Copies of this chain bind each other. A is one copy, B any other.
Amino acid sequence: MTGIFWIVPVAAMFALGFARYFFVNMKKADEGNGAMVAIATSVREGAMAYLKQQYRVVLITFLLIGLLLAFFAYVVKLQNRWVPLGFITAGFCSALAGFLGMRTATTASSRTAQAAIHSLNAGLKIAFRSGAVMGLVVVGLALLDYSFWYLILNMFIDLAKPSAKILAVTSTMLTFAMGTSLQALFARVGGGIFTKAADVGADLVGKVETGIPEDDIRNPATIADNVGDNVGDVAGMGADLYESYAGSILATAALGAVAFRHMGAATQLHAVLAPVLICALGVLASIAGIFFVKTEEKSSSLDLLRSLARGINISSVIVCVGSYLVLRLLNIPNFTGIWGSVMVGLLIGLFIGKATEYFTSQAYKPTKKIAEYADTGAATVIIAGFGNGMISTLLPVIAVTVGMICSYHLAIRGNGCNSTMGLYGVAISAVGMLSTLAITLATDAYGPIADNAGGNAEMSKLGEHVRARTDALDALGNTTAATGKGFAIGSAALTALALIASYVEGIKCAMLSAGGKYITVNGMDIALKKATMSNILHAYDVNLLNPKVLIGMFIGSMLTFLFCGLTINAVGRAASKMVVEVRRQFREISGIMSGEATPDYARCVTIATSAAQREMLLPAIIAIVSPILVGFIFGIPGVMGLLGGALSSGFVLAIFLSNAGGAWDNAKKYIEAGLHGGKNSEAHRATIVGDTVGDPFKDTAGPSLNILIKLMTIISVVTVGVAVSYSLF
């Protein structure tokens, strides 16, 4: 262990310290008048009630799976003995980050609205720095958990040969990622169902049936809708990116340990530490960037966007320069090439963000075209959005494939034809993309805070100029939400790729620990210690004409559709329940419409919460069980096919869903701005249908796919022993 490692826990503490600083400062701000406090309290209580229920389910699941892992680790001894513990702490840290972020976001909304009474900048500062709390606790806790286990495992794993020890530490830690992945599953899928059940339900009765505007306190589902924004874009998005962040660091470290194992223990260790050090650097860069986000009073929406972009750009530049120095300092062979891979990752993130913007923003042709089709009704709006969303998959796929080939070849340049080294390059490009997560996630979590602030101002009937300011802040949030989704999908794809790459090394470990010295499959006989990745794959016949691989690919592609279908239907069912409840309240509680009686907000929150928990079960079970089952039946080739199929088609499907939804949303906003007849025209009604259809696409099904592709991969990594030892065919 080298001293430089200590930068990691220090950076983690820095992140948590600044998170606390931002939180305390925000708490000091004025939380507004009685009405504002009451609304904010309802939202906060709803959010906490949701989290409480969610974490109860998560706790039970973690205990069950933890016990299962413990059984395999301590009784059957088929599993590494550290896995049950690491699995639990990883899940706990991710859950804690979600809790802190949600707490902050729901505390900040009324304060943002109140600050907006004074100035736009004051509002932006409160909202953005409260969003930054989420970003900072995510990276802080992730790096802290990493440091903790890194130190513990180095202390307890007792292997004389340094290179073997590093291999053992990294491959053990990799499996811990399952904890973050499982927590993300519940946060993303449950959160996605909650948020859109509330949103669609509120809209269907409120806007469509009774004709009251959005964020009207007379609508019983409006608080649930506001809670949902936090549940989806703070807790859900946070857990999703927590998983990508931790997963990409761990996978890169595991690959680094393998790729550089023949170059001496020092080099190997440096390759292992490189990703986490780049992330530590990224934390500091992000904190610097956060302080640069501010604005003038007379800002246009473009200025606001620029002020966020300034923060992100500054962080990115620091990481660019800094990571070169870090890699150079670590003196990794071909450090320039590997630095190139890191840069490629940053560029992919940037490019996907731009492509997403082009296909979803009303400033560009595709979305304007969709709005045009509103003249011929809802059907043509849907058709156009659908076609547009499908076409929008082209650019991100080009970005990821070109990025993959570049980062792969940059990393092997000068290192000869070592495919593991190439995959290390691909993995570290994911790290590069995610290194400034603290600030990019801040812009995501900022969205619901601004949105809720707007809702709060509307519901508590603040003045026109305050509404104008919160509207400006909210509009910014909508833009960051769309690009944030593209970023989340891109990083999920790269992380999944990195995890798949480390899977093959997992095969080797599983065979070694099973006491084997040779791979003897299909009549081939390779000494395990000398087995290259290519040899192992050949021995297992993991080529595209092996029917098991093809079957795995078919199943993988199908699962992405099935998973989406289940979550979309879940939203439909939960939203109908919400509709029934809202109608009931309007009917039974007299005086709601005249404002004399208060609706029962909590009941709507409860309905969304329990629907989310119930509807989540089947998709969750499918995601967890299918890789194990495929491994059990079709072995390694089946699992590889499954992961490849799910990754390639899941990535494309997720982009399609997210961009189609985003474009419909903005086509509606475009018409609301006065074009094609403006608000309440026939065209507007047509785009409302599009927007409602897009809701579960972009906020439930699409984001859930990020989780699916990562979770299936990490579960395959953890249960590789089953596929190696017990496959039926």
Q: Which residues of A contact B (CB under 8 A)?
A: 200, 204, 208, 373, 376-380, 382-384, 386-394, 397, 400-401, 404-405, 408, 417, 419, 422-423, 426, 497, 500-501, 504, 522, 533-534, 537-538, 541-551, 553-558, 560-562, 564-566, 568-569, 571-572, 575-576, 579, 640-641, 643-645, 647-649, 651-653, 656, 688-689, 692-693, 696, 729
Closest CB of chain B to A35's CB: distance in Å? 32
CB-contact partner of A534 in B384, B541, B556, B688, under 8 A? B541
- Asked if A648 and B557 sit within 8 Å, CB to CB, the answer is yes
Docked pose: A443 CA to B562 CA in angstroms: 30
A498 to B222, CA, bound (A): 55
Can you identify 23 A-B contacts, CB atoms within 8 angstroms? Answer: A204-B376, A373-B576, A380-B692, A382-B689, A383-B571, A387-B564, A387-B566, A387-B572, A391-B562, A391-B565, A401-B551, A405-B551, A405-B729, A419-B546, A422-B547, A534-B538, A537-B544, A542-B543, A544-B640, A544-B641, A649-B649, A649-B652, A689-B689
Q: Is the CB of A565 within 8 A of B501?
A: no
Say yes or no: A554-B397 contact (C-beta < 8 A), given A544-B641, A546-B419, A565-B388: yes
A410 to chain B, nearest CB (A): 12
Contact status A534-B544, CB under 8 Å:
no
Verify B541–A542 contact, CB threshold 8 A. no
Contact between chains at B400 and A649 (CB < 8 Å): no
Q: Pick the contact of A543: B538, B572, B652 (CB < 8 A).
A: B538
Find the B residue at minimum CB distance from A370: B572
With contacts A376-B204, A382-B382, A397-B554 taken as known, whether A561 is within 8 angstroms of B652 at the C-beta atoms is yes
**How far in angstroms is the closest Cβ of chain B from A209?**
9
Which residues from chain B contact A653 at a C-beta distance below 8 Å? 561
Complex contacts, A550 vs chain B, CB 8 Å: 404, 497, 644, 648
CB distance from A673 to the nearest CB of B (A): 21
Query: What separation, in Å, do the CA atoms of A426 and B551 have in the docked complex?
Result: 12
Contact between B537 and A376, CB atoms less than 8 A apart: no
A392 to B393, CA, bound (A): 23
Given A380-B572, A383-B568, A541-B534, answer yes or no on A408-B547 (Cβ-Cβ < 8 Å).
Answer: yes
A693 and B647 CA atoms in complex are apart in Å by 28
List of B residues within 8 angstroms of A543 by Cβ: 534, 537-538, 542-543, 640
Beyond A554-B652, A557-B651, whether A386 also contacts B419 by CB under 8 A is no
Q: Which of B400, B417, B645 contacts A648 (CB 8 A)?
A: B645
Residues of chain B within 8 A of A533, CB atoms compared = 545
CA distance in complex: A652, B645 (Å): 11
> Which of B408, B562, B569 lies in contact with A393, CB distance below 8 A?
B562
Residue on B nearest A366 in the bound complex, by CB: B569
Report Cα–Cα, A542/B640, bound state, in Å.
13
- Tell me whether A652 and B558 are in contact (CB under 8 A): yes
Known: A558-B393, A562-B394. A693 touches B382 (CB 8 A): yes
- Bound CA–CA A658/B647 (angstroms): 23
List, in ascending order, chain B residues with CB within 8 A of A645's CB. Answer: 553, 645, 648-649
Q: Are the CB atoms of A404 and B561 closer together than 8 Å? A: no
A564 surroundings in chain B (CB, below 8 A): 387, 390
A392: nearest chain-B partner, CB-CB: B565
Which of B547, B562, B693 meets A379, CB within 8 Å?
Answer: B693
Chain B residues whose C-beta falls within 8 Å of the C-beta of A576 in the assembled complex:
373, 376, 380
A651 neighbours in B (Cβ, 8 Å): 554, 557
Cross-chain contact B204 with A545 (CB below 8 angstroms): no
Query: CB-CB < 8 A to A555: which residues of B?
Result: 397, 401
Whole-angstrom CA separation of A376 from B202 in the bound complex: 12
Determine the distance from Cα of A405 to Cα of B545 in the docked complex, in whole angstroms.
12
Distance between Cα atoms of A379 and B576 in the complex (Å): 12
Residues of B within 8 A of A419 (CB): 545-546
Whether A378 and B541, one on each chain, are in contact in the complex, defined by CB atoms closer than 8 angstroms, is: no
Which residues from B are CB-within-8-Å of A652?
554, 557-558, 560-561, 649
Complexed CA–CA distance, A550 and B643 (Å): 11
A204 lies within 8 A of B547 (CB): no
Query: Please, which residues of chain B bring their CB within 8 A of the CB of A384?
Result: 569, 572
Interchain nearest-CB distance for A459 vs B (Å): 25
**With A652-B554, A689-B379 in contact, is A391–B566 under 8 Å at CB?**
yes
Instruction: Please name all residues of chain B whose beta carbon is closer than 8 Å to the beta carbon of A541 when the two chains form the complex.
Output: 534
CA distance A594 to B500 in the complex (A): 68
- Is the pair B544, A644 in contact by a Cβ cutoff of 8 Å? yes
A572 contact set on B, CB distance < 8 A: 373, 380, 383-384, 387
Complex CA gap A643/B386 in Å reads 24
- Measured between beta carbons, the chain B residues less than 8 angstroms from A571 are 383
A562/B390 contact (C-beta < 8 A), A380-B575, A543-B537 known: yes
For the complex, what is the distance from the CA of A564 to the CA of B648, rounded to whole Å? Answer: 17
A620 → chain B closest CB, angstroms: 16
Do the beta carbons of B565 and A204 come within 8 Å of each other?
no
List 16 other contacts, CB 8 Å, given A397-B555, A544-B549, A544-B640.
Answer: A204-B379, A380-B572, A382-B382, A383-B571, A386-B568, A387-B572, A393-B562, A397-B557, A500-B545, A522-B534, A537-B544, A544-B643, A544-B644, A557-B649, A648-B649, A649-B649
Taken together as a complex, chains A and B put the C-alpha atoms of A392 and B566 apart, in Å, by 10
